[in-house]
Amino acid sequence: MTDLVPPTYLAFDPATRHVRLDPHEPAFFQNPCEAYAFMHGRSNVIFWEEFGFWCFGGFDDVNRLLRDRRFGRQNPAGIPDRRSTDQDRTHLSAFDGIEANSMLELEPPVHTRLRTLVNRAFVSRQVERLRPRVEALANELVDRFEPGQVDLLPAFASPLPITIIAEMLGVPVEMGPQLLDWSHQMVAMYMHGRTRETEETANRAARDFSDFLRGYVAERRKNPGDDLLSLLISAQDDGQKLSEDELVSSAVLLLNAGHEATVHQTGNAVHAILAQGGDPRRFFTSPQTTAATVEECLRFDAPLHMFTRYAYEKIEVGADVIVRPGETIGLLLGMANHDPAAFAEPFAFRPDRADQKNVSFGAGIHFCIGAPLARLELQVSLKTLFDRLPRLYLAEQPRFRDTYHFHGLETLAVHTGQVIKA
């Protein structure tokens, strides 16, 4: 991947560093690494014309800018997301209501207070207690596989994280499919080229999701339990509690973030491991090799390829690149994870690499709050899957979805081979 001839679908102007690259081009979203390799050879800083802002793909740049407090998630214009298809946002009132109180879209001091209250349930020692439940659930899901061919996304990758986060929050697990639908409809708001129909669908999902959670919040206020929702209701920081709007937004964020990326990463990881050939169990021979394999999966085929930030002041970000207050920058996480300046053989799958690191969970104050849970789920579920199904192989070559930001497969059809009993 060292050839500096651009892919046919990419146009690069070296004088201006402008790139024309349709994120909906199948050749690109099926294999973005081809474009990344070309851009690493030319410039890690590009102006991506289809998005209309400067993007950064070098590992050090992305890692630094994620931590730079002169940039943030909160729109200085005061609205959650100004990329509406219309100047009038009344049709997005429910969606905006949730986003306005989401810690992902806020900056200190509000962000600090919300994250402090929510973080107590996601520290590593709390998450570690879930290991036996995750392992039992992974085995239950494998036990349900029909002999022969199975699509691992709906049969394994999706139900595991949504079940765990639903159980943590104390909402009915049988609501899982509905929660998934609402989540998919809401995250479509972050895709390139969204439509008015996308926005109206997302707003309905936000309204229904919010109404559902408010009902459960009212029930938990009367009858608190040991679930996360009850914990969030009672949690205080210097005498301050979450308001009901903050509580609902936090629960929506945790439900959405608690499964969306993990589903994609599970599918991407299985795909990457099977592509190596041989006995997949060799990647999971000890807790250390299992953890290293998961970290390499996170680097090698991340579930999120772009994260955006707003500039809060006039900043010279790089050579001849100046951004002004309110302008957006794009941080290309997937490209950064394949930077040859940061990784030896960046396009090779090497769990034993000495330079193991990634920016897949972000960095700085917005580092993914659910990272310990996601890592545990991936470590346990992947080891269980391959221990039980060591002869698993692809039934067909999987294809990635036309959702560049959220990089995940459409289906993952596999043949199970002989199933080993738990």
Tens of pLDDT along the chain (422 residues)? 445 789 999 999 999 999 999 999 999 999 999 999 999 999 999 999 999 999 999 999 999 999 999 999 998 876 555 554 556 788 999 999 999 899 989 999 999 988 988 887 777 778 899 999 999 999 999 999 988 999 999 999 999 999 999 998 888 999 888 988 998 899 888 888 888 999 999 999 999 999 999 998 999 999 998 888 888 888 766 667 888 899 899 989 888 877 888 999 999 999 999 999 999 999 999 999 999 999 999 999 999 999 999 999 999 997 789 999 999 999 999 999 999 999 999 999 999 999 999 999 999 999 999 999 999 999 999 999 999 999 999 999 999 999 998 999 999 999 998 778 87
Residues 6+ apart with CB under 8 A from 24: 192, 193, 402, 404
Enter the tokens of residue 177: 């499919």
d(CA 81, CA 160): 31
Q: What angle do CA 181, 92, 163 make, to 5 degrees?
A: 25
Residue 235 Cα distances to 100, 215, 231, 252, 391, angstroms: 20, 19, 6, 17, 47
Q: Are 114 and 128 in contact (CB under 8 A)?
A: no
Dihedral sign (CA 79, 81, 82, 84): negative
Residue 230 Cα distances to 79, 173, 183, angstroms: 30, 17, 22
d(CA 271, CA 279): 14
**Which residue in 185, 174, 366, 158 sits closest to 259, CA to CA?**
158
Buried b (16+ CB within 10 A) or exposed e, 59-88: bebbbebbebeebbbbeeeeebbeebbeee
**Which residue in 138, 413, 131, 155 sits closest to 291, CA to CA?**
131
Characterize the bridge pairing of strands 315-318 and 328-331.
unpaired
In this structure, the number of other CB atoms found within 10 A of the CB of residue 139 comes to: 18
d(CA 239, CA 247): 16
Domains within the chain, CATH numbers bracketed: 11-415 (1.10.630.10)
**Which residue in 294, 269, 86, 259 sits closest to 182, CA to CA?**
259
Enter the tokens of residue 254: 């945790």
Give the predicted TM-score (pTM) of the model: 0.93
How many residues are present in the chain?
422
Q: Are 288 and 282 in contact (CB under 8 A)?
A: no
Q: Are 415 and 392 in contact (CB under 8 A)?
A: yes
d(CA 43, CA 13): 10
